[in-house]
Structure 1
Amino acid sequence: MQQQQESLQDKQLRPIEDNPLRLNSGYEETMKLMFTDERSPVHLSAPAAVTESLHNIQLHYQANQEAISTALSTMLAAFSPEHLLNRFSQYRRASDNTPMNDGWAWEMYNNYYKELSSSRQQGFEKLFYEVYSHAYDRALRKGIEEA
């Protein structure tokens, strides 16, 4: 999961990094690359680098908003009463004669929640980040295509 989160931090869709603001250089080095004769012929000009960086921030913001919304909707759907009752019924043993009423459903939910929040489980976070990363990629690519 940590690897998934790190992969979202830097989405580059080009073969070389030509924006001096994205080269992980210090302030002095970046200023040299942008404003002196040491500027590489394959680096963006200062105005173009700033424009591209601001555009990338906007794309990231929009993709992030869409991805969070999609992931939360998916998480909410996973906790719908119908979905949970269906799942809980699959946990029943053949010999269990307990009626499947509201009391049983509440008891099952409490057990389910206890297990979900235990240190043994990673499914909740994993589901969120899986859905988030796919939705983020889709939204980012859509934003780039529209630009």
Structure 2
Amino acid sequence: MIEVKNLSKQFKAPTEEKGLFGFKKKPFWAVKELNFKIKKGTVASILGPNGCGKTTTLRMIAGMLTPSKGTAFVDSVDVRKDKQTVKSKIGYMTNNTALYDRLNVIETIKFFAELNQLSEEVYMPRAEKLFTQLDMNKYLLKRVADLSTGMKQ
């Protein structure tokens, strides 16, 4: 379950007014006092116009951005107190894949597994099962640069 309680994020944006060291900055709320619950197994989406705080909200829930106020819980784990555990429980995919084009798919899986301190005994069976279920074994030795955006995601 994901629970969001009074989740808020404040940024400082440059104004047109110049100060001694460049433009003065004025605080603004990208997200202010957001509350919701999403039960486990529920498919949900966040909709809204550009600049309304969708990405900021998701980045806070995923532990990639620290809230200014409030918090979010992923399976009862507080994102403010234990970002690493939250990151291990949630997947976050942007349209920018940030993958290394020169690596093949299996090298990419190994790289990110090791980055997240997963042993080969843990990640390889998971990867093999997933690639078999998705009928994607033929892509394991392909370079990331040769994959479509959808395949990269």
Same fold flag (TM > 0.5)? no
| Larger radius of gyration between Structure 1 and Structure 2 | 1
Structure with more strand by fraction: 2
Alignment TM-score, normalising by the size of structure 2: 0.20
Alignment TM-score, normalising by the size of structure 1: 0.20
Higher RCO, 1 vs 2 (CA within 8 Å, ≥6 residues apart): 1
